Amino acid sequence: MSELIVIAFDDEATGFELRAELVKMQGEYLIEMEDAVVVTRPSEDDIKLHQAVNLTAAGALGGGFWGTFIGLIFLNPLLGAAVGAASGALAGRLTDMGINDDFMRQTARALPPGGSAVFVLLRKLTADKVLDRLQSFQHRGRVLQTSLSQQDEDRLRDALSGTAPAAPAAPPVTGA
């Protein structure tokens, strides 16, 4: 089951920093992401989604390849490439993978102008190591929304706020 986490920041740069750190963690196999989007709010009525993967460009590239291939079969590779690229770009533009764009825009209305939010859809994570890596974002971010358990959400909030949860008491040492 995937978990959704939304972390907000008062500036745009920190949102991109967090996404870069999450990508590093994925490269180290600490997390497995389905989607990671930075949403910025440059002004009061402007919300921009910065997808990690440009589906329009990916669709155009794939469509161009297949169009050229099919065009070779029918002896017109240039026309096939053009039609394939156009249809691939259209398909990529209409595809909404991962986190719903309308949901992100609606949630981003809570951001102040000039702020950002990182929307992350996680498949797996090594919670203790990920929380340690988020130490550099202390006092800069706040949790807007998660689908985590209450206990895990509290641990994430504590990591971002810089307040460490109370450590369990050590068992008494008995002498022999």
Q: Is 159 exposed, middle or buried (0-12, 13-18, 19+ CB in 10 A)?
A: buried
CA distances from 145 to 18, 68, 83, 87 (A): 16, 45, 42, 36
Listed in sequence order, the DSSP H helices in the chain are 12-27, 55-73, 77-94, 101-108, 127-133, 150-161
CA distances from 109 to 46, 88, 103 (A): 9, 32, 10
Listed ranges 12-21, 89-98, 133-142; the one with the highest mean pLDDT: 12-21
Report the pLDDT value the prediction gives residue 159, as an integer from 0 to 100. Answer: 85
Looking at per-residue confidence, does 116 or 176 come out higher? 116
Report the pLDDT value the prediction gives residue 158, as an integer from 0 to 100. Answer: 87
Looking at per-residue confidence, does 11 or 153 come out higher? 11
Q: The tokens of 76 are what?
A: 């017109």
Give the list of residues 6+ apart from residue 116 with CB closer than 8 angstroms, or none.
Answer: 8, 9, 11, 12, 13, 14, 15, 16, 38, 39, 40, 41
Dist CA 48 CA 115 (whole Å): 11
The per-residue pLDDT for range 9-60, each reduced to its tens digit, is 999 999 999 999 999 999 999 998 888 999 999 988 899 988 875 444 444 5
Report the pLDDT value the prediction gives residue 48, as an integer from 0 to 100. Answer: 92
Mean pLDDT of 66-85: 61
Model pTM score: 0.68
How high is the mean pLDDT of the chain? 77
Sequence ranges of the domains in the chain: 3-52+98-161, 55-94
Dist CA 156 CA 36 (whole Å): 17
**Local confidence band at 164 (pLDDT 50, 70, 90 cut-offs):** low
Give the SS3 label for residue 155: helix
Report the pLDDT value the prediction gives residue 50, as an integer from 0 to 100. Answer: 87
**Local confidence band at 7 (pLDDT 50, 70, 90 cut-offs):** very high
Mean pLDDT of 78-103: 63
